[in-house]
Amino acid sequence: MQQPLNRFLLLQPAWLPTVLFIPLLYALGWLAAVPLTLLGLPTDQLSLIGTVLSFVLFLLVMPRWAALRWSESRPWAALGIREAKPQKQPAPAAALLKGLLIAAGLLMVITSVVLIDGSGNWRGEVDATQLTNAVLLCLGVGFAEELIFRSWLWTELQEMIGSRRAAWAQAGIFSLVHTRFNLGLVAMGGLLIGLFLLGMVLARQRQSDRGSLWGCVGLHGGLVAGWFLLQNGLLQLSPNAPPWLVGPGGHSPNPLGGLIGILSLLILLLIQRTAVANALRPSSGARRAS
């Protein structure tokens, strides 16, 4: 099994494995999930199980990927999961908490403007099931997507086009993957901009944490979980709430595509500049996440 994997990882041109990797993983995960329907798996859960299996395959391949593609002997350190000495990264729990607090701050700004504008009412109702789902969303989506975008993809792009252009490229790809193209042109444009800015914010978060991925996990997962709780009990949005405020998406708006979300992300990017400069100064020789 290792020999075919090695051949795939060393395909030329060098960008070819990067482009093919995720589609191949999805195909393999789906194929592995199909036989489970014979054991009683509901067909409406096939996509979810296939995605989970694809991510498991992703994790299994990463050590070999890091060794052959990046010449890294410590793959999980290179990916930001374990501490990469001597960069003096923050403890994972501290970085995760910091990311969660930043996410809470962003959502607090958006929620405050919604309440002041009268586009929503505070309900404050959350049950145990919703809290459990929020925690799963925070850790599941936050960890999986950050490992793919701010870890694997960003490192791959750095190897090919350099750190600065790679940061812009990963944010652009992140934005395109998450944008809903069934929206109108203006709404879609706002969502593309907001998601692109989020991708840049998350990249700078990893830089300010000296390569640790846990702050990104907390920030990304916190936004997803926090907005889930707000929409499902904490906040009652008015049907007439303007998209420029709550974001595009109709009954399932994404606040990052609204004016307040975009402005908040721009301000956060400016604030992060100092943190990134301080983080990079003592580790200017670091190759990754810098």
What's the confidence (pLDDT) of residue 277? 79
Per-residue pLDDT tens over the stretch 128-178: 999 999 999 999 999 999 999 999 999 999 999 988 899 999 999 999 999
pLDDT confidence of residue 87? 62
Give residue 282's pLDDT.
Answer: 55
Residues of the chain with pLDDT under 70: 1, 85-87, 282-290
Q: Which helix (H) or strand (E) holds 5?
A: helix 2-9
Report the pLDDT value the prediction gives residue 186, as an integer from 0 to 100. 87
pLDDT for 216: 97
Tokens, residue 3: 């020999």
201 close to 272: Cβ distance less than 8 angstroms: yes
Q: How far apart are CA 172 and CA 192, in angstroms?
A: 8
> Is the alpha carbon torsion for 89, 95, 96, 99 positive or negative?
negative
Residue spans per domain, the chain: 1-69, 84-283
* Helix or strand (DSSP H, E) at 59: helix 46-69
CA 98 to chain centre: 16
pLDDT of residue 181: 79
149: three-class secondary structure by DSSP: helix
Q: Helices in 73-213 by DSSP H: which ranges?
A: 75-78, 92-117, 128-146, 154-161, 163-178, 185-208
Question: Which tokens is 209 given?
Answer: 């944490």
Per DSSP, the three-state class of 286 is coil
pLDDT at 1: 64
pTM: 0.90
User: 234 CB contacts (<8 Å, ≥6 apart)?
Assistant: 122, 123, 124, 125, 126
Beta bridge partners of 235: 122
